[in-house]
Amino acid sequence: ETGVTQTPRHLVMGMTNKKSLKCEQHLGHNAMYWYKQSAKKPLELMFVYNFKEQTENNSVPSRFSPECPNSSHLFLHLHTLQPEDSALYLCASSQGQGSSDTQYFGPGTRLTVL
Amino acid sequence: AQTVTQSQPEMSVQEAETVTLSCTYDTSESDYYLFWYKQPPSRQMILVIRQEAYKQQNATENRFSVNFQKAAKSFSLKISDSQLGDAAMYFCAYRIDAGGTSYGKLTFGQGTILTVHP
């Protein structure tokens, strides 16, 4: 596979469930990102990892827990979510260095919280 | 704080014609990057074009070009010879030029839905 992949593409979960979103990049990048895309709102940056270190947590509630075991993989662990957390969750990656750094996105996971 | 505004929630164009999508931004920085991303109904966000603020020349990628007006903080996207495959949500985005370790935040606009009529 090439580019940035995300699994699952769709996820339905109850408020008491625990689930994880997975992102994998095949671009040799060093930085990875989680974004939340809600209807009629701009994309919101959630987390940034650069060289496996978390460098940004954009005031995200603790029910979202990111994990970056290596530069190619990024997870978002979900627990006790709320219905308002239903959204499209996008992963992106970039070189993570250089002023011309450009982010490339995965297809997203459509999350529905019941 | 930086903000990006796309004032056109929806736009439409006839196939083979030209359409321009608007974007304005607010920043106190002098060095930054601007991007247009396209998100088709399949949801994969695709980079369309990128503009470095220090470059006066407008970026061009095939049928896509930008009109970058730094003083006015305007960054519009022109799509020439529109094709059915151009139908998508288009996002304008801004990123500060953080220099050697640039993994900075992208700030996105609200998006413009482009419909292409055959």
Which residues contact residue B71 at a Cβ distance below 8 angstroms, ignoring those fewer than 6 apart? none
Looking at residue B109, what is its pLDDT?
94
Q: What is the pLDDT of residues B63-104, one digit of tens each?
A: 999 999 999 999 999 999 999 999 999 999 998 876 544 456
| B16 pLDDT more than 70 | yes
Looking at residue B101, what is its pLDDT?
47
Q: What integer is the mean pLDDT of B14-24?
A: 98
The residue in chain B having the minimum alpha-carbon distance to the alpha carbon of residue A98 is B100
Looking at residue B71, what is its pLDDT?
94
Q: What is the amino acid identity at position B59?
A: A
What whole-number distance in Å separates Cα of residue B9 and Cα of residue A93?
A: 27
Look at B35 and A90 and tell me if their CB atoms are within 8 Å. no
The residue in chain A having the minimum alpha-carbon distance to the alpha carbon of residue B40 is A107
A53 to chain B, closest Cα gap in Å: 12
Residues of B within 8 A of A90 (CB-CB) are 45
What whole-number distance in Å separates Cα of residue B88 and Cα of residue B77?
A: 14
Spatial contact of A80 and A54, defined as CB atoms under 8 Å apart: no
Identify the residue with better confidence: B36 or B1.
B36
* 10-residue mean pLDDT series, chain A (114 residues): 88 92 95 90 89 83 94 95 94 81 91 94
Is B118 an interface residue toward A (CB < 8 Å)? Answer: no
What whole-number distance in Å separates Cα of residue A24 and Cα of residue B2?
A: 29
| B38 pLDDT more than 90 | yes
| B115 pLDDT more than 50 | yes
